[in-house]
Structure 1
């Protein structure tokens, strides 16, 4: 284990990370946000969604460093007396979970279709790519809204909150798979003509085994870069949907939901209710984007 860690630390990718200050700062910021989000149960000073602990007398308190603020509410409270700092931790966790789950599902769908399209060729390739082209002509947010509207019509608005999380993940994933399919297809068209693929065909290795065991590991570099960038896009898409009121329910709000709630108080003087969730969203997306930019440059042989 120590030998593997030492080898990983001495790799070209680790060397590039250590010598890129922006990547180091972005990684530290992202790890801090991840620890705070997934450790919210232990890090957060309050449980903002436990109605038994809320006190309306503590509503609309400013941050602790302003007049009228309290030390126990570091970033202030909202209109229901919820601790905003605790709400941010829990909201960041929801946003990250939806973003990671939707990216993972997009990768599974896109990689499978991209491998099939590039390896099979012919009509299969043409059909999959035309479907991807048609979907790419629509904005991702529009596709997600359409899927969410269809689900609401089928299950009813009253039952939507119970399945809001998987619906949101599926909607964002179905809107994002074409990028993976096109990227993997392009790399597969190159790899399938290499000698190792031809040798596998000659000895009778099944096409499925060749695609997933031999071709897939050699096309994952661009996919990982795309996944990093797509994570930021998925988080923004989820925040947009939640801001529009078609995202996760208010009982388990994400950053987008917190921004939507705080937007009602922006011009009434309680600026902290919307500014801090917006700042948390900006820092989260910025750290992911900076990591994606570094990874793209680190894996680009023309820049090394």
Structure 2
């Protein structure tokens, strides 16, 4: 008989035999969280194909379809709109799919921006030390005294004061990504700094200096690959925080405009008619947001424990 493990490709054999894979498959909660996250992401990014309606195309809307209740909870429901409609006749299910996609795009992009800034500053701070380290860390300490949501509000407010409202709505996605990214870089910088201060005194870094490699090349080629573990854990956890921050800003009316609705925008629009008893407009987007963030946080907690050698 042929050994199944020897018939697998090399990379697949390494993955299935790793401690991380064993930790993943042995935790049913983590597997459920991963399945839920993948399902939400697939449905969101395939929304132009899978969504039953195009909810934010005015040409497809009809006010006569407005405020239809969920089909399973009321005899007045319509199977064409399984989760009901809002006051403009938009299908709630389709709105959630499109809104989730935008929330995920903002969340992923914000994490990438925060990682890029934090890793770069953390490498410089930890490798050079001295005045460079003191300056970067004091800036980080000052920013830590403010909640991330306030920093994002401040940055968004500055942009709004500089450009027109119409122009702001056109570039709202980029503004909110930059605002959230600039709010979350500190944790990456402090973590990378601590790891670099340990790594820079090891023999492989000393050898790279001896052969004449530049500090930039040493940091990028030799030091950075050895500090990525903690960064990946922070990025996974911060993805949920970034999505929540974007939803909060949009709910407050300073995030994404109604023409580019995220889950936060949908919750805000539903909140305006919540007192009239049309609860489904708010509850279903809020439940989707909660499920997405919970699943991502569970994956982040698992990854943190799986990469911790003390827990193996």
Aligned partner (choices 81, 96, 107) of residue 89 of structure 2: 81
Q: Report matched runs for 1:70-149 at 5 Å.
A: 70-149=78-157
TM-score for the superposition, normalised by structure 1:
0.98
Indicate yes or no: 2:75 matched with 1:67: yes
Q: Tell me whether 1:56 sits opposite 2:59 in the alignment.
A: no
* Gaps in structure 2 of 5+ consecutive residues: 1-7
**Corresponding position of 1:44:** 51
Spell out, residue by residue over 1:100-131, the C-alpha distance to the aligned partner (whole angstroms, 9 max, x if none): 00000100010000000000000000000000
> Deviation string for 1:14-39 (max 9, x for gaps)?
11111111110000000000001000
Alignment of 1:1-304 (within 5 A): 2-65=9-72, 66-304=74-312
1:208 Cα deviation after fit: 0.8
Structure 1 unaligned segments of length 5 or more: list them: none
Q: Deviations over 1:153-210 (max 9, x none)?
A: 1111222101101000000000110110000000101111111111111111111111
Q: Runs (4+) of structure 1 moved beyond 3 Å?
A: none
Distance 2:223 2:166 in 1: 46
How many residues matched?
Answer: 304
- Aligned equivalents of 2:213, 2:166: Cα separation in 1: 52
Please state whether the residue corresponding to 2:278 is helix, strand or coil.
Answer: coil
Partner residue in 1 for 2:3: none
TM-score by length of 2: 0.96
Q: State the SS of the aligned residue for 1:60.
A: coil
CA displacement at 1:284 relative to structure 2: 0.6
- Give the superposed CA RMSD: 0.9
